[in-house]
Structure 1
Amino acid sequence: MTHPAPHSTPAPAPGPVPGSTPSLVTLGEAMAVVAATEPGPFAHGTPMRLGWAGAEATVAVGVSRLGHTAAWTGRVGDDAAGAMVLAGLRAEGVDVSGARTDPDAPTGLMLRERRTADRLRVSYYRAGLAGSRLAPADLDEARITGARILHVTGITPALSATARAAVEHAVRLAHGAGVTVSLDVNHRERLWSRTEAAEVLGRLLPYTDLLFAGPEEAALFVPGGEPEETARALTRLGPAEAVVKLGADGALAVTADGAHRQAAIPVTAVDPVGAGDAFVSGYLAARLDGSPVPERLRLAALCGAFAVSVPGDWEGIPRRTELGLLAAQDITR
């Protein structure tokens, strides 16, 4: 099948136009998810559930559930899967009036196989599909420059040249307008090499205010070392605030005020996919609250703990009224 150039402008997705600029604006890929609900290889008759996911979309859902306005921009196909993605985001209070339905490319797909009781195997079908066709022309520049935070990840610029251009354009717009730029490295080796990721994302660091990275992701830019040393090295590349996500060992943030540590909150892990994005959503929501760094880390850890304890990418992210369910287990050191 021959597709027109990715920079062609598809029709806006149906949905209400918001009355004001959302506090958080994010752009990226969202796709349908078919996930096995029981362990074992994919086979005829395997029990499955249908859903949707996307790193930036998950962050938007989390911020919305925690009481702030959020918007997601991206492309989905003009198909049932795309309609499901947009309806799901709207149901979570996320503004998708800036999203686009692409009539010439279908919505991407993720297959999640529970190969054993404690091992997931994930396959993506995204190359050349709607999400990868995001382009600078899809962006609402006024919305970006009017937001309080722009959040992007390292996934989107790895999808295509036009998606990369969209992320770079959005970051520069936001930075020029004094909007806080949040970047989660979120490196995916299946999409691009470490060398290419370091080169492309490295160009974004001078425009970034808040950087999230795991230890291996941080090593794209700085030599490996202790988490605090790593975070401090990252802040010397541009970001005023660097957060190193340490999984079961919690997280650490470094700002001009010093280093702050947060232990992981102990829960029974059911599904690790999406936990990092849930963590980011909690951190950004607390930043929008005006909370200091230790409270940002605490809320981030709570959101990550909720997420891993529920199947799905974003389904387990808590609402404000639910935070007390795990808050008693919070340990800050």
Structure 2
Amino acid sequence: MTQHRTAHTPQTPGGLLTFGETMGLITANTIGTLEHTRDLTFGIGGAESNTAVGAARLGAPVTWIGRVGSDAAGDLVGRRLRAEGVRTFAVRDTSFTVLMIRHHRAAGVVHVDYHRTGSAGSRLTPRDIPAEAVQRAAILHLSGITPALSASARQATWHAVTTAKAHNVPVSVDVNYRSKLWDRDTARRELQRLVAEADIVFAGVEEAQLVLGSPAETPEDLALGLAAMGPGEAVVKTGSRGCTARIEDAMYAEPALPVSAVVDTVGAGDAFVAGYLAERLRGADGVQRLRTACAMGAYAVSVPGDCELLPTRGELETFLAAGDVLR
């Protein structure tokens, strides 16, 4: 497919603003049932904060807002994000920080349990998202997870979107459909509304089909369908095949980068989004945005964890050079 270049987007000082649920992440480091595991690590994870860390590692100014419990997991969330250079506003709540427990039942088979009902993260409200923070942002990024958490989190999402639209702040949406949080019909209606208000949308193939209510299978058709709903930039993530995008009336295709071994696929989509948005903030064209996005996704699957080992810009360049994939 022919690739076209788009005009550069000027960098603005507000950087990336995102908000949502960040969890304490307990990971078993050996393969087998959880009851036989004796080696565990404790980290953090969450779609929006993974993207925040990835973008910050690439040099973008990033702000994250969310609610966490007054517990050890909440302490860890705040410390880790601040250590990554993410401007962090972690509202302390009387409820608990979400916990995600992940183990490999067998090689290549990941099992995840969430302990989140009634959590601090689900109690996010419009009051937690200052209008001034949205107005100062260069991009507002959110995912389809947040409006699925609770009625108040959904209200917070729409408060942020409405404020951004009123002040000409571009809105980025990663569909991130989670079947454990809501049924398909409810999700489709809400996600369609979000995509229609977005300037930038990211979706996997099945997520795009859900939003469009269409059995269309080709990434090109899905990208065109999403763009027709309103976003000027529609990116369909196709995993090991790379991505296809419609950006300002031009079609793009970028192949995935080969990796010697896939270690952990969790968080790869968030890393992809981080790469795209960080490059957009720098004023890069569509080709470079997608190239960096695919590189970030490839790096993410080659290391363990949701966001802890995502690369700096220098490390990403070394990774690309080592793979002889610079073009």
TM-score range, shorter chain: over 0.9
2:149 match: 159
**Is it true that 1:67 corresponds to 2:56 in the alignment?**
no
Query: Equivalent of 1:305, from 298, 308, 324?
Result: 298
Structure 1 pair 330/127, CA: closer, same or farther in 2 (3 Å)?
farther
**Is it true that 1:26 corresponds to 2:18 in the alignment?**
yes
**Is it true that 1:190 corresponds to 2:180 in the alignment?**
yes
User: How far did 1:179 drift?
Assistant: 0.6
Instruction: Using structure 2 for the length normalisation, give the TM-score.
Output: 0.92
Q: What code does the residue aligned with 2:91 have? A: R
**Is it true that 1:282 corresponds to 2:300 in the alignment?**
no
Query: Equivalent of 2:91, from 57, 79, 100?
Result: 100
Deviations 1:132-188 (Å, cap 9, x if unpaired)?
000101111101111000000001110100001101110111111111100000000
Contact 1:240 1:256 in 2 (8 A): yes
Q: Tell me the SS of whatever aligns to 2:34.
A: coil
**Is it true that 1:202 corresponds to 2:192 in the alignment?**
yes
The CA distance in 2 between the partners of 1:216 and 1:297, in whole Å, is 20
Question: Matches of residues 45-194 of structure 1 in structure 2 within 5 Å?
Answer: 45-96=37-88, 98-102=89-93, 104-194=94-184
2:6 match: none
Structure 1 pair 190/238, CA: closer, same or farther in 2 (3 Å)?
same
The CA distance in 1 between the partners of 2:183 and 2:324, in whole Å, is 37
User: How far did 1:21 drift?
Assistant: 6.7
Q: Tell me the SS of whatever aligns to 1:213.
A: strand
The CA distance in 2 between the partners of 1:230 and 1:332, in whole Å, is 28
Query: Equivalent of 2:33, from 25, 38, 41?
Result: 41
1:318 match: 311
2:233 match: 241
Deviates more, 1:224-233 or 1:131-140: 224-233
User: How far did 1:115 drift?
Assistant: 0.7
**Greater helix share, 1 or 2?**
2
2:224 match: 232
2:7 match: none
Contact 1:309 1:316 in 2 (8 A): no
User: How far did 1:225 drift?
Assistant: 2.9
Q: Tell me the SS of whatever aligns to 1:221.
A: helix
Q: Tell me the SS of whatever aligns to 1:43.
A: helix
Query: Equivalent of 1:253, from 233, 242, 245?
Result: 245
Structure 1 pair 172/305, CA: closer, same or farther in 2 (3 Å)?
same
Q: Tell me the SS of whatever aligns to 1:313.
A: coil
Q: Which runs of 4+ in 1 moved over 4 A?
A: 330-333
Deviates more, 1:312-321 or 1:267-276: 312-321
Contact 1:66 1:319 in 2 (8 A): yes
User: How far did 1:326 drift?
Assistant: 2.7
Aligned-residue sequence identity (percent) comes to 48
Contact 2:295 2:320 in 1 (8 A): yes
Q: Tell me the SS of whatever aligns to 1:93.
A: coil
Question: Across the two proteins, how many residue pairs are aligned to each other?
Answer: 312
Unmatched tracts of structure 1, length 5 or more: 1-19
Contact 1:21 1:143 in 2 (8 A): no
**Is it true that 1:273 corresponds to 2:266 in the alignment?**
yes
Contact 1:37 1:47 in 2 (8 A): yes
Contact 2:30 2:37 in 1 (8 A): no
Contact 1:298 1:332 in 2 (8 A): no
Contact 1:175 1:208 in 2 (8 A): no
Deviations 1:5-41 (Å, cap 9, x if unpaired)?
xxxxxxxxxxxxxxx9740000100010110001000
The CA distance in 2 between the partners of 1:166 and 1:233, in whole Å, is 27
The CA distance in 2 between the partners of 1:200 and 1:144, in whole Å, is 21
Deviates more, 1:216-225 or 1:160-169: 216-225
Contact 1:307 1:315 in 2 (8 A): no
